Amino acid sequence: MTVPTSPPGGPPARELVGELLARAQWTPERLAAHQRERLDGLLRHAVANSPYYRRVLGADAAHGGVPLRELPTLTKSALMEHFDEIVTDGRVRRGAAAAHLAGAEPGRLLAGHRVFSTAGSTGERGIVVSSPAEFTVWTAAHLRMMATMGATPGMRAVAIGSPSPGHLSRQMFAETGGPPGDAPELDVTTPMPELVARLNAYRPDAISTYASIAALLAEEQLSGRLAIAPAMVAAGAEILTEDMRRRVRDAWGVEPHQAYLATEAPLLASTSAAQVGMHLWEDLVLVEVVDAAGRPVAPGVPGHKVLITNLVNRVQPLIRYELSDSVTLAPGPDPTGRPFRRLSDVDGRSYEIITLPAAGGATVSVHPAHLRSPFTAFPEVVQYQLTYDDGGLTGRVVLRPGAPSGIPDRLRAALTRRLRYAGAIPPPITITAVAGLARDTGHAAKFHQFSRPGHLPPPDEGPA
């Protein structure tokens, strides 16, 4: 496919992309007024049309001016328990939506709406509903993102996303692409030799895919099997680690772009050509970074979870919806002059934090960044996975051909040192070299670098 000069859907969609791009020139005051107007409209709509929100928000919320921080939060469990009371179109009910997603054509409309599924840290599947008009806004938002990353009309682009037609990434890629049949139809479960052969034949200028696939394709380029020269590589759905970034830079001489996505709000933040962090698209979604108690955290401090308020969707209002993501706000204003705040890091899910014993009988919480860093220091490591259970930490690594046989032992020693640096008493650690690592079997087919039995969500969890 080629990057289109305008999104599908006719003049209204074309005009919308231009409008969204113009918002980057707003002043902070104009952005705040827009957010207040959209939030007040959302609250009025929710109180008038959703029995759940009418009950939990109260009639006063419809009068406008209510501070966001005073509103209750919404968990995924509550969303699913009260699904029929929250969705404002009576034609869409939880049972019918679940059956639709489990059916033969989950990508088709249900009662005129798109339906997506997402999993959570509790293991409970969530269902998200979006009208065609709402999805058009998010489609335009993705095209705005591509433009700010440096995509230009006529670029030969390829998208490698979920294998499921009902997954958000698959439907979004279909909407933001050019004429069907132009680019190869690929997904993250396509065998790597086939990916390489078809990309070599197509020679894309831009690639959008999962972070783990971007890193593996870079590895194929460095090995000489892949021979393409993309000017833009955009990664989402999974954590883009520093070792993944390094491999993309080494392979193609470009800094990879990163998108922070969620099924509940299809675009939260993304990098731009200036590479000054991830711009939060706060004209479409309100983002609160909070600690475990729900209190706002300062820029530079990793949060425990994220609260999102979707300013676009009305069929299924999502107000202060909880995501178990650990992200960090960047300090200071946006150097590009945009009125939006930025994220400096998206570090993963807060449930990946493990608690280990410390000196004197105490315990210490160890962030997953401590678990990742020893592996990123070894260029011989192509992929790795860690599991933490009662037996300790078990790691499996895929090594580059010709890597020294002692790498697993050196990794174990490095991880031991890192845990001690974090103040923990290291548990037993086993590192084993393997030929390959399988993807998760869920509809998103994501790749989890860290898991805890009993805590790992269903396979499609993670930033969308």
283-314 residue pLDDT tens: 999 999 999 899 999 999 989 899 999 999 99
Average pLDDT over residues 98-112: 87
Contact 118, 126 (CB under 8 A): yes
**Chain segment 7-20, per-residue pLDDT in tens:** 444 446 567 889 99
* CA 333 – CA 342 distance, rounded (Å): 8
* CA 170 – CA 141 distance, rounded (Å): 16
Residue 261 has pLDDT above 50, yes or no: yes
pLDDT value at position 124? 58
Which string of b and e fits 347-371 if b means at least 16 CB within 10 Å?
bbbbbbbbebeeeeeeeeebbbbbb
Residue 81 has pLDDT above 90, yes or no: yes
Average pLDDT over residues 187-210: 89
Instruction: With cut-offs at 50, 70 and 90, classify the pLDDT of residue 184.
Output: confident
Instruction: With cut-offs at 50, 70 and 90, classify the pLDDT of residue 464.
Output: very low
Retrieve residue 432's tokens: 């084993």
The residue that leads in pLDDT, 125 or 384, is 384
Residue 5 has pLDDT above 50, yes or no: no
Residue 459 has pLDDT above 60, yes or no: no
Average pLDDT over residues 61-76: 93
Retrieve residue 205's tokens: 């200028």
- Residue recorded with tokens 């679940």: 98
Smallest Cα–Cα separation from 213: which of 183, 242, 244?
244
Instruction: Mark out the alpha helices in 58-179 (DSSP H runs).
Output: 76-81, 83-86, 94-102, 132-149, 168-176
Instruction: With cut-offs at 50, 70 and 90, classify the pLDDT of residue 43.
Output: very high
pLDDT value at position 236? 83
pLDDT value at position 295? 95
Instruction: With cut-offs at 50, 70 and 90, classify the pLDDT of residue 4.
Output: very low
Contact 168, 443 (CB under 8 A): no
The residue that leads in pLDDT, 444 or 89, is 89
**Chain segment 368-422, per-residue pLDDT in tens:** 667 777 776 777 887 788 888 888 888 888 887 888 889 899 988 988 988 888 7
**Cα-to-chain-centroid distance, residue 296:** 21
- Give the pairing type, strands 278-280 and 186-187: unpaired
pLDDT value at position 449? 57
Which residue type does 166 have? G
- Residue recorded with tokens 């390829």: 158
**Chain segment 422-438, per-residue pLDDT in tens:** 788 989 998 988 888 76
Counting residues of the chain whose pLDDT is more than 70, the rounded percentage is 83
* CA 251 – CA 274 distance, rounded (Å): 20
Average pLDDT over residues 329-335: 94
Contacts of residue 141, Cβ cutoff 8 Å, sequence gap at least 6: 20, 266, 267, 281, 284
| Least confident residue range of 42-51, 70-79, 91-100, 355-364 | 355-364
- Residue recorded with tokens 């509103």: 71
Counting residues of the chain whose pLDDT is more than 90, the rounded percentage is 46
* CA 340 – CA 272 distance, rounded (Å): 12
Residue 98 has pLDDT above 50, yes or no: yes
* CA 343 – CA 309 distance, rounded (Å): 17
Average pLDDT over residues 219-235: 93
Contacts of residue 151, Cβ cutoff 8 Å, sequence gap at least 6: 3, 157, 206, 232
